[in-house]
């Protein structure tokens, strides 16, 4: 039997600290979700465990963390389902040369630089239980991700959603998300197969068959949700329960196929009907508990695994600086140069690059996967968490510095996808 | 404009892709430090009990955390001593102290992956070093 008193106390403390730090961050014009991420780290060995080890050991005894982990995974599955739900394939096409070039470059440039950095980090922060290929592919994936939900949140809070830059940034982030998760699914499959958990061909074949079945079979059946919604005028409890069941079922199948729970949840969300009202209702019903209660548990669990104290000595901080520099140069630099070459002005191009450099909680999700499957060490995990925080925290001040809101809003919107973007960006906003 | 975009695409997408492929090829020659993280125990508990006397617990458990070449070893002795050190190739060298004892441990990683053992010596509070062989704890 779980120790319910300990679990409830943990949840209470996590929610309280997450709300307080989140609100403090909001006061300094940072997204609340970034504050919640920081709260998770403060509750871990980086602060609480370091300053008050007895309190930390009493509050988060190792034996009780399994329940916290399980709850955080449920939250993450629902969150990834919501992220998939908010993605609309229509946004991914017909957005002109700037979006195509920038989105592809914003994946490939950081991926390439992450892989090259792996040459330096592998002998220093990894070991021979992980092959260089898997390590490099993971580093590339982790460097190339953009936090679509946090980006949408920043743009909404600054009223930039309909600006040219905002539109482009959300489009590119959506492309990045889909591509990034596909690459990561491949990497996780390779790594798990190399550990001998499953056969590589069974994994890859199974994954391809599953995705094809979902795209061309299950997707059509899911139109029932939209029809039911239109008939009744609301999303019934039965429909909602069935939807959650499908997300959990899909997560379970991808886990059994050797990919990861989260890919199944994301895929199920991505193939759900995309009519605006349906998405709005479904998101509204699901996101409150997910975002307000379960996600902070994930942040806390990530924080308990993050130990800034591990990053000690000039050598470790040099690695951390190298990771941060490569992450920024690859994502911000790559996106900026691509947008500039596609015809944008320097200031606009730099703004787009800054927005694309937002990694936020999607980076945390990926890093936790990496730590779970053993491709990164605790030290590298902590370094990458620092990088995720730095790149996300830098977005708002850098954007205000390079291109004030007034100038961004004055840019003409050349891409006619406003309504779709408005719909998608009102979804999946972690913490309001 | 189209020509410029094709060039830009080749430079920003095609070239990095080639670099990734080259990097993966080049990295195949790299060898990471031997993986020894996890729980280890002595293969001869009788010899260990004489060696450790009151300083360490029996059966001994060495919990190793590894980040590349950096090691941190937690002992299950009374003081939960933690010793830190490094791997240089297959050779490890660690040192740490608790309220009661100074612990030093040195040795080599022997065997191939999956069948590794740690062969070396340990000393408590400057006492005579005693040889030990650690194997993976079940």
Q: Which residues of B touch A112 (CB under 8 A)?
A: 16-17, 19-20, 23
Q: Which residues of A touch B68 (CB under 8 A)?
A: 123-127, 377, 379
Q: How far is B25 from chain A (nearest CA, A)?
A: 8
Each domain of chain B, given as residue ranges in start order, spans 1-30, 38-136
Q: Which residues of A touch B13 (CB under 8 A)?
A: 101, 104-105, 108
- What is the predicted pLDDT for the residue at A400? 85
End-to-end CA distance of chain A: 35
- What is the predicted pLDDT for the residue at A96? 65
- Residue A105 CB-density burial (10 A; 0-12 exposed, 13-18 middle, 19+ buried): buried
Each domain of chain A, given as residue ranges in start order, spans 4-425
Which chain B residue lies closest to A139 (C-alpha atoms)? B20
Which chain A residue lies closest to B65 (C-alpha atoms)? A378
SS3 content of chain A, % helix, strand, coil (to 5): 80, 0, 20
> What's the average pLDDT block by block, 10 residues per block, for chain B (138 residues)?
83 94 92 89 76 62 87 80 87 81 86 85 78 83
Q: Which residues of A touch B69 (CB under 8 A)?
A: 123-124
Of A378, A336, A382, A383, nearest to A356 by C-alpha is A336
Euclidean distance between CA atoms B26 and B13, whole angstroms: 20
Domain B38-136 has CATH 2.60.120.10: no
Q: Which residues of B touch A334 (CB under 8 A)?
A: 12
Low-confidence stretches of chain A (pLDDT < 70) are 1-2, 89-97, 161-162, 195-198, 405-432
CA angle, residues A293, A25, A33, in degrees to nearest 5? 35
Query: What are the DSSP calls for A211-227, one per residue?
Result: HHHIIIIIHHHTHHHHH
- The CATH code that applies to domain A4-425 is 1.20.1530.20
Q: Which residues of B touch A109 (CB under 8 A)?
A: 12, 16
For A2, phi then psi, to 5°, come to -70, 150
Q: Are strands B117-124 and B62-67 parallel, antiparallel or unpaired?
A: unpaired
Chain B interface residues facing chain A, Cβ-Cβ under 8 Å?
Answer: 1, 4-5, 8-9, 11-13, 16-17, 19-20, 23-24, 26-28, 30-37, 65-70, 113
CB contacts < 8 A, A to B, total 111
- What is the predicted pLDDT for the residue at A1? 55
Please tell me which of the candidates B26, B27, B34 has its beta carbon nearest to residue A128. B34
Please tell me which of the candidates A109, A113, A140 has its beta carbon nearest to residue B12. A109
List the structure tokens of B114: 């999956």
- What is the predicted pLDDT for the residue at B65? 87
- Judge whether B110 and B104 are in contact, CB under 8 Å: no
- Judge whether A189 and A204 are in contact, CB under 8 Å: yes
Euclidean distance between CA atoms A65 and A6, whole angstroms: 10
- What is the predicted pLDDT for the residue at A414? 46
């Amino acid at each position: 039997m779980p120790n319910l008193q300990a679990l409830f106390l943990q949840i209470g403390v996590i929610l309280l600290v997450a709300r307080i730090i989140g609100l403090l961050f909001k006061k300094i014009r940072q997204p609340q979700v970034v504050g919640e991420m920081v709260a998770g780290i403060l509750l871990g060995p980086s602060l609480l465990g370091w300053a008050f080890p007895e309190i930390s050991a009493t509050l988060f005894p190792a034996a009780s963390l399994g329940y916290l982990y399980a709850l955080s995974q449920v939250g993450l599955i629902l969150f990834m389902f919501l992220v998939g739900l908010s993605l609309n394939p229509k946004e991914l096409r017909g957005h002109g040369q700037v979006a195509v070039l920038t989105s592809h470059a914003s994946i490939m440039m950081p991926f390439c630089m992450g892989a090259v950095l792996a040459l330096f980090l592998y002998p220093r922060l990894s070991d021979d239980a992980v092959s260089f290929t898997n390590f490099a592919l993971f580093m590339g994936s982790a460097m190339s991700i953009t936090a679509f939900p946090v980006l949408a949140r920043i743009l909404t809070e600054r009223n930039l959603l309909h600006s040219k830059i905002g539109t482009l940034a959300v489009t590119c982030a959506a492309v990045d998300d889909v591509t990034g998760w596909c690459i990561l699914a491949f990497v996780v499959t390779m790594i798990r197969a190399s550990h001998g958990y499953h056969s590589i061909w069974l994994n890859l074949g199974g994954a391809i068959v599953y995705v094809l079945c979902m795209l061309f079979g299950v997707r059509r059946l899911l139109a029932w949700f939209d029809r039911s919604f239109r008939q009744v005028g609301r999303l019934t409890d039965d429909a909602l329960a069935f939807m959650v069941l499908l997300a959990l079922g899909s997560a379970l199948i991808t886990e059994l196929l050797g990919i990861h729970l989260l890919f199944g949840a994301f895929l199920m969300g991505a193939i759900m009907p995309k009519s605006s009202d349906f998405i709005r209702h479904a998101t509204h019903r699901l996101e409150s508990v997910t975002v307000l209660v379960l996600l902070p548990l994930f942040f806390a669990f990530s924080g308990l695994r993050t130990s800034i104290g591990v990053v000690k000595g000039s050598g470790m901080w040099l690695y951390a600086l190298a990771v941060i520099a490569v992450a920024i140069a690859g994502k911000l630099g790559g996106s900026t140069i691509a947008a500039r070459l596609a015809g944008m002005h320097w200031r606009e191009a730099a703004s787009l690059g800054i927005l694309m450099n937002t990694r936020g909680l999607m980076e945390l999700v990926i890093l936790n996967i990496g730590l779970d499957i053993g491709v990164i060490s605790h030290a590298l995990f902590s370094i990458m968490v620092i990088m995720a925080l730095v790149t996300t925290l830098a977005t708002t001040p850098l954007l205000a510095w390079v291109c004030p809101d007034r100038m961004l809003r004055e840019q003409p919107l050349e891409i006619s996808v406003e309504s779709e973007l408005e719909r998608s960006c009102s979804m999946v906003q972690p913490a309001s | 404009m189209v020509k410029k975009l094709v060039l830009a695409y080749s430079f920003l997408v095609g070239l990095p892709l080639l670099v990734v492929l080259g990097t993966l090829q080049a990295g195949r020659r790299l060898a990471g430090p031997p993986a020894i993280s996890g729980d280890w125990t002595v293969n001869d508990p009788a010899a260990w009990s004489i060696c450790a006397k009151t300083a360490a617990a029996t059966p001994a458990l060495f919990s190793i955390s590894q980040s590349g070449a950096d090691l941190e070893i937690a002992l299950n002795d009374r003081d939960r001593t933690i010793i830190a050190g490094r791997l240089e190739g297959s050779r490890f060298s660690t040192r740490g102290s608790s309220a009661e004892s100074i612990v030093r441990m040195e040795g080599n990683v022997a065997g191939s992956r999956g069948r590794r053992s740690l062969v070396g010596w340990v000393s408590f509070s400057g006492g005579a070093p005693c040889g030990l062989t650690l194997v993976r704890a079940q």
